[in-house]
């Protein structure tokens, strides 16, 4: 017995050979998948055995662009002329679907397109990592958010079964986000919709499904039709809008330093709906700026 344990420890310390079916926290995941969701134990173990630990994911998730870059850097990446031009072309190419989504969910075509632009450059960059590698590496070895990623790992097993996806081949970002709009597994299951009428939710290949799903996500997270995202204000006007109530997220002031100048904004409901997509002020602001560019 001792020999076996020692052997496991040695294998485990060589990260590339990590066998996640043997990880100290894997038993709970395996039991939940088998007992609560009806998976075959041998299937689950086999999948975990085939997952690979990727150290770069642990580094990326600890240092996301939203935290390491200044607003100027972030804005420079997401408001490049090419991304603005490509977004305008995307709107032209998908106008009828975008108009339908706007009517069904109240979310303007420019905002849906801006999210697609920031997330994946309109579907050009959907992520190169196997999701199974991301969710096992982060679910078993991330020191801060492993519980969240293990929960996503369970959701990913269910999602791939429901949608008939190959669990060992499905690709996404380093954090396990997938498809045009970069939905994580639990969001895919809860908010992604079929919007091209083939009765299959496909965020990897169907632009229409992606458009409908993003609009549905924002709608379900408090998007207000005709509501505003942010308003620019003078610094001395910030105070009177401030409502520091715990349950009230509306009307909070935001300050962004842009090329050395402090800009002040009041964020409204729709800003928070966007931030629910990716919890970051600079992310939501980049989406807002990009959406505004499409109107010019
Ligand atoms: Ca579909």
CA–centroid distance, 47 to ligand 1, in Å, is 27
Which residues are within 5 Å of ligand 1 (an ion), measured at CB? 194, 196, 198, 200, 202, 206, 209
Of 160, 161, 175, nearest to 129 by C-alpha is 175
CA–centroid distance, 12 to ligand 1, in Å, is 41
Asked whether the predicted pLDDT for residue 20 surpasses 90, the reply is yes
Cβ–Cβ contacts within 10 Å for residue 81, how many?
Answer: 8
Annotated catalytic, 28?
A: no
Q: Where in the chain is the domain with CATH 1.10.8.350?
A: 1-223+274-296
pLDDT of amino acid 266 = 82
Q: Cα 186 vs. chain centroid, distance in angstroms?
A: 10
Contacts 24+ apart (CB under 8 A), 71-75: 71/256, 71/257, 71/258, 71/282, 71/285, 72/257, 72/258, 72/259, 74/282, 74/286, 75/258, 75/286, 75/289
CA–centroid distance, 121 to ligand 1, in Å, is 21
DSSP category for residue 266: E
CA–centroid distance, 195 to ligand 1, in Å, is 6
pLDDT of amino acid 224 = 92
Question: Tokens in use for 201?
Answer: 């939710």
Asked whether the predicted pLDDT for residue 247 surpasses 80, the reply is no
CATH of domain 1-223+274-296: 1.10.8.350
Higher pLDDT, 28 or 234: 28
Asked whether the predicted pLDDT for residue 6 surpasses 70, the reply is no
Of the listed ranges 69-73, 82-86, 170-174, the least confidently predicted one is 69-73
DSSP category for residue 183: B
Of the listed ranges 19-23, 95-99, 241-245, the least confidently predicted one is 241-245
pLDDT of amino acid 139 = 97
pLDDT of amino acid 236 = 65
Higher pLDDT, 104 or 74: 104
Asked whether the predicted pLDDT for residue 121 surpasses 90, the reply is yes
CA–centroid distance, 203 to ligand 1, in Å, is 8
CA–centroid distance, 147 to ligand 1, in Å, is 31
Catalytic residue among 102, 110, 119, 293: 119
In 3-state terms, what secondary structure has residue 129?
strand
Helix, strand, coil content of the chain in percent (nearest 5): 60, 10, 35
Phi first, then psi, for residue 265 (nearest 5°) are -135, 155
């Amino acid at each position: 017995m001792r020999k076996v344990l020692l052997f496991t420890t040695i294998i485990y310390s060589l990260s590339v050979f990590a066998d996640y079916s043997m990880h100290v926290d894997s038993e709970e995941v395996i039991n939940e998948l088998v007992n609560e969701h009806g998976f075959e134990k041998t299937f689950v173990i086999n999948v975990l055995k085939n997952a690979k630990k990727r150290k770069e994911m642990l580094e990326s998730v600890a240092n996301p662009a939203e935290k390491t870059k200044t607003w100027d850097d972030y804005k420079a990446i997401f408001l490049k002329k090419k991304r603005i031009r490509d977004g305008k072309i995307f709107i032209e190419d998908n106008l009828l679907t975008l108009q339908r989504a706007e009517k069904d969910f109240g979310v303007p075509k420019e905002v849906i397109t801006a999210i697609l632009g920031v997330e994946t450059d309109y579907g050009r960059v959907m992520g190169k990592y196997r999701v199974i590698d991301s969710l096992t590496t982060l679910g078993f070895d991330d020191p801060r958010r492993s519980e969240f990623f293990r929960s996503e790992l369970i959701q990913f097993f269910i999602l791939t079964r429901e949608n008939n996806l190959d669990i060992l081949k499905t690709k996404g970002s380093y954090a396990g986000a997938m498809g045009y709009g970069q939905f994580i597994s639990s969001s895919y299951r809860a908010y992604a919709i079929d919007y091209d009428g083939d009765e299959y939710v496909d965020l990897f290949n169907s632009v229409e499904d992606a458009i409908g799903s993003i609009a549905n996500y924002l709608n379900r997270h408090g998007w207000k039709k005709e509501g505003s995202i942010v308003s620019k204000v003078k610094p001395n006007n910030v105070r009177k809008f401030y409502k520091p109530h715990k349950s009230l997220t509306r009307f909070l002031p935001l300050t962004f330093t842009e090329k050395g100048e402090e800009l002040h904004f009041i964020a409204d409901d729709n800003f928070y709906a966007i931030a629910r997509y990716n919890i970051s002020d600079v992310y939501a602001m980049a989406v807002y700026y990009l959406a505004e560019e499409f109107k010019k």
